[in-house]
Chain A
Amino acid sequence: MAAPANTAVDLSAALVTAPVEAAHWLVILPVALCIGLGAILMMLRDRTTWHGWVAIPGLVLLVLVDAALLYKVATEGPITMVMGRWLPPFGIAFSVDLFSAIMALTAAIVALAGGLYALGEITTSGRRYGFFPFLMLLLAGVSGAFLTGDVFNLYVWFEVLLISSFGLLILGSEREQIDGALKYAVLNLIATTLFLVSVGYLYAIFGTLNMADIAMKARVPGNSAPLMTLAGLFLLAFGMKAAAFPVNFWLPASYHTPRITVSALFAGLLTKVGIYALIRVLVMLLPVERAGLGPITTAVAIATMLAGALGALGASDLRRLLGYIVISGIGTILAGVALGSAEGLSGAIFYALHSMVLMTALYLLAGQAARLGGGFSLSALSGLYRQSGWFAGLSLVLFFAACGLPPFSGFWPKVILVKAALDTGAWWIAATILLTGFLTTIVFGRVFLLAYWRPGSAPDAVAPEPIIWQAGLPILALTALAIGFGLFPEQLLHLTQLAAGGLEDPSAYLRSVFPEGGGAQ
């Protein structure tokens, strides 16, 4: 495929026997760790008290491994490991650049928070149905999708995370859950099938599935292949996974039905994997076609932002409301993709990280709010401020972060995106981002008014139990992250700028896959 045609076959290059550098095992470790822990937890199915003792240290280890990986990538540039030493583009490559590493780390942090919360929420029967094994396998899928450098492999990880998410979604087998899961499952399966069709066409056009190889071949001018159609298919498939506007209806139909931990994990992880894949494929692999699809992406982004914000305005169930906020966040990230400039992309990546942390925190918060205030419905939920002042303060921080108000983490990515939009003259994108922020502020203002300030209907009839540490700690930690990134954004900003730069000009990524420029023709 990519071997130089004019020379005799150089066998020495193919017969590499040197072992893989020890540090490079970091690339595969997050996935291997998750699958291993998932298998162990599956074997411990009946010993439900052990689940927490296996899963939580495992998740802590995962965070550490991902942090080490991020450090390694940040200091040394992208790393590639090829399975079985089949050299690229033939072997399946795991290629990690800054964008992958930072998304994987955030996903691990979010999962750790969800796992901690689950200790208090998921009962013995939920554990026997396999909450923790499913969580680990979900994470294996998510980490694999973030770290892989092979398009078909990406499809496989999508399926891994999808089948685990089915298991999590119907945990409890309530009627509502089955209804929601049916819609979620059918629409997501159609989306991944579309993705598979696109992968098939991609291979037919380029004769390779290695991302670096495709990125190189797609940049060669004068390609007469129908790349625009291909990019359009990818946009549809990943847009559906990410819940972008015309294909977003599976999200509000299902995200409010499972256990609150599961909702939180889904909101933090699943749609972001779709967005990650969209950015990876459209920005890095097919940049010319992304620019061509710009008007469509812009329209989709604007519609998604507004649909999310308006849906949240009309929702009376707190969990459904948050589902719409997830959608409007996806729109904001898409706006950055639509802009396509390095600045816009860096804003999009920053917003994606912020949204992962924030949406998980908000769902977990909603779970506690419902426990303290009497249900998820806004017509019942009340008197939270009187219940617990510090809980109200914590909520206010997260609400402000969701609206994009300073000094919390939602502010900076929105500033970057608005500035990037104005720089490219796309004032309508800037205006929509600001309008969405305004609508979101109204939404959360009303939530605070009704749920927190409105006096409870039956004051102090039965004082609810205080918040247990398994629930309080993850919310506190995620809120601390939201405040931290709001107050000290420089480090993260720098990283996202580097990550966006690496996507715009993937030469370092390509070098890590083809050290001698072997694939370049």
Chain B
Amino acid sequence: MEAVFATLVGLFFTAAIYLMLSKFSIRIMLGIAILGNAVNLLLFAAGRVTREVPPIIPAGADTLSVDAANPLPQALILTAIVISFSFLAFLLVLTYRAYQDLKTDNTGEMRVAEPDERPMPPLGY
């Protein structure tokens, strides 16, 4: 099961990086959404994916037995999912606002803050 997830995580990262390299803001957003999920899935799979055995450390041992899933990464991604969801929501609004205000979704043309022809600082007076 973990091997399948590992492959899936790899595919997710590939797709996310490919999309984020695009110039168009909406593709970048899709890439970020997939990136967040790739990371969550990575953490989830790293804690083992089983459900038969309750995660209780037996007496005398100091780690979980190998057939129990570690609950801590699951707790971590619960936090991470909430955070990445709220960020994505904010970013989507920001992107839409940028599209409305800057009249483009091409980040190559978003040069309001950094104009293309920046004046040189004066060389003397």
Contact residues of A with B, CB < 8 Å?
1-5, 8-9, 152, 156, 159, 162-163, 166, 170, 173, 175-183, 185-186, 189-190, 193, 196-197, 199-201, 203-204, 207, 209, 252-254, 256-257, 314-316, 377-379, 382, 446, 449-450, 454
Per-residue interface assignment for chain B, residues 16 to 46, with 1 indicating a CB less than 8 Å from any chain A CB and 0 otherwise? 0000100001001000100110010011001
Contact flag A253-B94 (CB < 8 Å), given A446-B121, A450-B125: no
Q: Are B60 and A152 in contact (CB under 8 A)?
A: no
**Complex contact B86–A163 (CB within 8 A):** yes
Choose from A166, A201, A378 the contact partner of B121 (Cβ within 8 Å): A378
When distances are taken between beta carbons in the complex, the residues of chain A under 8 Å from B39 are: 193, 196-197, 200
Let me know if A189 and B91 touch, CB within 8 A: yes
Which residue on B lies nearest to A256, using beta carbons?
B113
Residue of B nearest to A454 (CB): B125
Say if the beta carbon of B114 comes within 8 Å of chain A: yes
Chain B residues within 8 Å of A201, by CB: 46
Do A156 and B42 touch (CB < 8 A)?
no
CB-defined contacts of B76 to chain A, threshold 8 Å: 152, 199-200, 203
The reply to whether A185 and B119 contact each other, CB–CB distance below 8 Å, is no
Residues of A within 8 A of B121 (CB): 314-316, 378-379, 446, 450
How far is A182 from B107 in the complex, measured between Cα atoms in Å? 9
Check B72–A5 contact: CB distance below 8 A. no
Q: Give Cα A5–Cα B91 distance, bound, in whole angstroms.
A: 48
Known A1-B63, A182-B94, A252-B114; further 8 A-B contacts with Cβ < 8 A: A1-B62, A8-B60, A175-B101, A178-B112, A185-B91, A190-B32, A203-B76, A316-B119
Contacts of B15 in A (CB 8 A): none
Q: Do A178 and B94 touch (CB < 8 A)?
A: yes
The complex places the Cα of A1 from the Cα of B55 at a distance, in Å, of 13
Contacts of A173 in B (CB 8 A): 97
Within 8 A of A (CB), among B72-101: 72-73, 76, 79-80, 83-84, 86-87, 90-91, 94-95, 97-98, 101
**Interchain nearest-CB distance for B122 vs A (Å):** 5
Give 9 pairs: A residue, B residue, CB < 8 Å, sorted on A: A159-B83, A176-B112, A178-B94, A178-B101, A178-B112, A179-B110, A182-B95, A185-B91, A316-B118
Complex Cα gap A521–B119 (Å): 62
Does chain A have a CB within 8 A of B3?
no
Query: CB distance B63 to A207 under 8 Å?
Result: yes
State whether the Cβ of B59 lies closer than 8 Å to any Cβ in chain A: yes
The answer to whether B46 and A204 touch across the interface, beta carbons within 8 angstroms, is yes
Which of chain A's residues have a CB closer than 8 A to the CB of B86?
163
Chain B interface residue number, banded: 35 or more
Docked-complex contact A378 and B101, CB < 8 angstroms: no
Interchain CB contact under 8 A, A257 and B113: yes
Q: How far, in angstroms, from A470 to B44 measured CA to CA in the complex?
A: 50
Q: Report which of A163, A175, A315, A450 forms a contact with B90, defined as CB distance below 8 A.
A: A163
Contact A159 B43 (CB under 8 A): no
Given contacts A182-B25, A200-B39, A203-B76, contact A2 B91 (CB under 8 A): no
Return chain B residues, CB-CB under 8 Å to A1: 62-63
- Interface centre among B25, B61, B87, B118, by most chain A C-beta atoms within 10 angstroms, is B87
Chain A residues with CB below 8 A from B98, complex form: 178-179, 182
Kindly state whether residue B120 has any CB partner on chain A within 8 Å: yes
For residue A199, which residues in chain B have a CB less than 8 angstroms away from its CB?
Answer: 76
Name the B residues within 8 Å of A3 (CB-CB).
62
Cβ of B49 under 8 Å from chain A: no
Q: Cβ of B60 and Cβ of A450 under 8 Å apart?
A: no
Q: A200-B43, A200-B73, A315-B121 are in contact. Are A180 and B61 (CB under 8 A)?
A: no
Residues of B within 8 A of A2 (CB): 62
Bound CA span A328–B36, Å: 31
B62 surroundings in chain A (CB, below 8 A): 1-5
- Output the least CB separation between A9 and chain B (Å): 6
Contact B42 A253 (CB under 8 A): no
CB of B102 within 8 Å of the partner chain: yes
Checking A152, A178, A204 against B97 with a beta-carbon cut-off of 8 angstroms, the contacting residue is A178
Residue of A152, A176, A186, A315 most packed against chain B (CB within 10 A)? A186
Known interface pairs A182-B98, A193-B39, A379-B122; A163-B114 also in contact (CB < 8 Å): no
Complex: A170 Cα to B94 Cα, angstroms: 9
Q: Which residues of A contact B60 (CB under 8 A)?
A: 5, 8
Check B90 against A185 for contact (C-beta < 8 Å).
Answer: yes
Contacts of B94 in A (CB 8 A): 166, 170, 178, 181-182, 185
> For the complex, what is the distance from the CA of A209 to the CA of B79, rounded to whole Å?
15
Contact at B113–A179, with CB atoms within 8 Å?
yes
Complex Cα distance A186/B32, Å? 8
Also in contact, A253 and B63, with CB within 8 A (given A189-B87, A197-B39): no
Residue from the list A152, A178, A186, A450 in contact with B91, Cβ < 8 A? A186
Pair B59/A176 contact, Cβ less than 8 Å? no
**Which chain B residues border A454 with CB–CB below 8 Å?**
125
Cα A253 to Cα B84 in complex, Å, equals 23
B residues near A316, Cβ cutoff 8 Å: 118-122
| C-alpha spacing A252/B28, complex, angstroms | 21
B73 and A176 contacting across the interface, CB-CB below 8 Å: no
B85 CB to closest chain A CB (Å) equals 12
Q: How far is the CB of A288 from chain B (nearest CB, A)?
A: 23
Which of B91, B98, B107, B114 is packed against the most chain A CB atoms within 10 Å? B114
In Å, the complex CA distance between A256 and B112 comes to 12
Which residue of chain B has its CB nearest to the CB of A321? Answer: B121
A5 vs B72: C-alpha distance when bound (angstroms): 21
Residue of B nearest to A199 (CB): B76
Closest to A252 in B: B114
B87 pairs with A163, CB closer than 8 A: yes
- Report yes or no: B102 in contact with A179, Cβ–Cβ below 8 A: yes
A-side contacts of B101, CB under 8 Å: 175, 178
In the assembly, what is the distance between CA of A209 and CA of B43, in Å? Answer: 13
Cα-based distance from A450 to B120 in the complex (angstroms): 13
Bound Cα distance from A316 to B122, whole angstroms: 8
Interface centre among B60, B107, B113 (most CB of A within 10 A): B113
